[in-house]
């Protein structure tokens, strides 16, 4: 993300990247929560299909309903949302909604409205502490490793005639893999566990009963209950996702930046230009690798119970299972909020990084 040839001190990358990550995560985290909830929502049968299935499977409807439906509330295992009730023991065709049930479409706006109405506005910021905890080392590793990999590959690339664009792409890929292993995977496991809790942020009694309270407590509890390896659930799809994202990100941003500066005859961009170019480059990766993000989310969400085989056991198996059970398009669940999250996020990241880095250079900090 620092495409100019002048070498910068690693601390400059760390501070500029950390500031960029902090600003970006604080502004865009609600979109990430919406994306996670959409990806965790599974396709369920409609009310009418469930009712017909129940009716057709009962040889003696009146007697069976009297004994088997003592509780009028259908469980979600049957395919109905919580809060759906049958109006009578034999009137299967009439279904009413619980008065406190929030009805909303399954798109990002409807998901956001449902979260806010059920759990409060600040529920959109669940898991933000996990993001903050990992953002500075993540950005430090991303920026410093990218520059280091590019510096290492520079001389051999010139020797063998490899283009600068290929060097940038490879350095971005390597930096994405590095950050995924060292920081991103454990932080996202904690973040997703916290985001997936359906408790109200407005009800103190529910807040006291929540399982995961903050990032450190979440990490310790996961390790205690499931082992250290649980923090690395989904590491392979996370590596593939981060590697792809950063390879495309760095390559597109550096290429467009150089072209714009060449046309302008300048050696830097205005803040609004960094914002636009960063947003454009940030949207390219998610379109290609969203299935990896869906699988990663499902793997990280599930709790491993000793002696039981988990539903999702790996990248390939999870892709096939989701495709069979929910349709191929389910692998692109959450793409809209993900783009809405990543594109402005990358725009803010590039703009903030460039501005902070330029300011430190102007002040003479960390001159090499």
Share the mean pLDDT of the chain: 78
Model confidence at 188, pLDDT cuts 50, 70, 90, reads: confident
Least confident of 92-96, 153-157, 259-263, 315-319: 92-96
Asked whether the predicted pLDDT for residue 341 surpasses 70, the reply is: yes
Least confident of 25-39, 88-102, 168-182, 276-290: 88-102
pLDDT digits (tens, 9 = 90+) for 131-155: 787 777 787 788 888 988 998 998 9
Asked whether the predicted pLDDT for residue 207 surpasses 90, the reply is: no
Least confident of 55-64, 144-153, 299-308: 55-64
Asked whether the predicted pLDDT for residue 103 surpasses 70, the reply is: no
pLDDT digits (tens, 9 = 90+) for 214-272: 788 889 999 998 899 899 988 888 898 899 889 999 999 999 999 999 999 988 889 99
State the distance between the two ends of the chain, measured CA to CA, in whole angstroms: 18
Asked whether the predicted pLDDT for residue 55 surpasses 70, the reply is: no
Rounded average pLDDT over 345-368 = 86
Asked whether the predicted pLDDT for residue 38 surpasses 50, the reply is: yes
Neighbouring-strand partners of residue 85 = 73, 96
Model confidence at 87, pLDDT cuts 50, 70, 90, reads: very low
Rounded average pLDDT over 111-115 = 89
- The fraction of the chain above a pLDDT of 90, given in percent, is 20
3-state SS string over the chain? CCCCCCCCCHHHHHHHHHHHHHHHHHHHHHHHHHHHHHHHCCCCCCHHHHHHHHHHCCCCHHHHHHHHCCCCECCHHHCCCCCEEECCCCCCCCEEECCCCCCCCCCHHHHHHHHHHHHCHHHHHCCHHHHHHHHHHHHHHHHHHHHHHHHHHHHHHHHHCCCHHHHHHHHHHHHHHHHHHHHHHHHHHHHHHHHCCCCCCCCHHHHHHCCCCCHHHHHHHHHHHHCHHHHHCCHHHHHHHHHHHHHHHHHHHHHHHHHHHHHHCCCCCCHHHHHHHHHHHHCHHHHHHHHHHHHHHHHHHCCCCCCCCCCCCCHHHHHHHHHHHHCHHHHHCCHHHHHHHHHHHHHHHHHHHHHHHHHHHHHCCCCC
Of 328 and 58, more confident: 328
Rounded average pLDDT over 20-30 = 86
pTM: 0.63
CA quadruple 158, 162, 168, 173: dihedral sign: negative
Asked whether the predicted pLDDT for residue 63 surpasses 70, the reply is: no
| Predicted local distance difference test score (pLDDT) of residue 310 | 86
CA distance 354 to 235: 30
């Amino acid at each position: 993300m620092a495409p100019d040839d002048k070498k910068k001190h690693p601390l400059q990358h760390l501070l500029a990247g950390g500031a960029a990550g902090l600003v970006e995560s604080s502004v865009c985290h609600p979109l990430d929560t919406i994306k996670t909830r959409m990806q965790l929502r599974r396709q369920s049968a409609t009310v009418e299909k469930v009712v017909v299935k129940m009716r057709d499977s009962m040889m003696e409807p009146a007697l069976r309903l009297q004994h088997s439906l003592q509780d009028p509330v259908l469980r979600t295992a049957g395919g109905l949302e919580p809060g759906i009730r049958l109006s009578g023991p034999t009137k299967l065709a009439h279904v009413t909604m619980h008065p406190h049930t929030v009805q909303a479409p399954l798109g990002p706006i409807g998901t956001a409205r449902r979260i806010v109405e059920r759990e409060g506005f600040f529920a959109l910021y669940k898991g933000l502490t996990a993001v903050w905890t990992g953002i500075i080392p993540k950005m430090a590793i991303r920026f410093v490793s990218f520059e280091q990999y590019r510096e290492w590959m520079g001389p051999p690339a010139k020797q063998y005639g490899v283009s600068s664009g290929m060097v940038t792409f490879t350095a971005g890929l390597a930096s994405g893999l590095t950050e995924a292993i060292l920081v991103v995977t454990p932080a996202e496991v904690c973040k997703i566990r916290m985001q997936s809790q359906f408790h109200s942020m407005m009800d103190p009694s529910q807040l006291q009963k929540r399982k995961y309270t903050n990032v450190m407590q979440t990490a310790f509890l996961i390790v205690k209950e499931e082992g250290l390896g649980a923090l690395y659930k989904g590491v392979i799809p996370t590596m593939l996702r981060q590697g792809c994202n950063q390879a495309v990100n760095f390559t597109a941003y550096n290429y467009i930046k150089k072209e714009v500066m060449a046309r302008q005859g300048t050696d830097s961009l205005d803040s609004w230009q960094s914002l636009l170019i960063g947003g454009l480059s940030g949207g390219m990766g998610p379109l290609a690798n969203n299935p990896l993000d869906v699988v990663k989310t499902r793997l990280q969400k599930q709790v491993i119970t000793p002696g039981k085989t988990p539903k999702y056991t790996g990248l390939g198996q999870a892709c096939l299972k989701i495709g069979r059970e929910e349709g191929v398009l389910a692998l692109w669940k959450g793409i809209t909020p993900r783009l809405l999250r990543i594109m402005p996020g990358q725009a803010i990241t590039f703009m903030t990084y460039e501005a902070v880095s330029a300011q430190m250079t102007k002040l003479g900090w960390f001159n090499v």
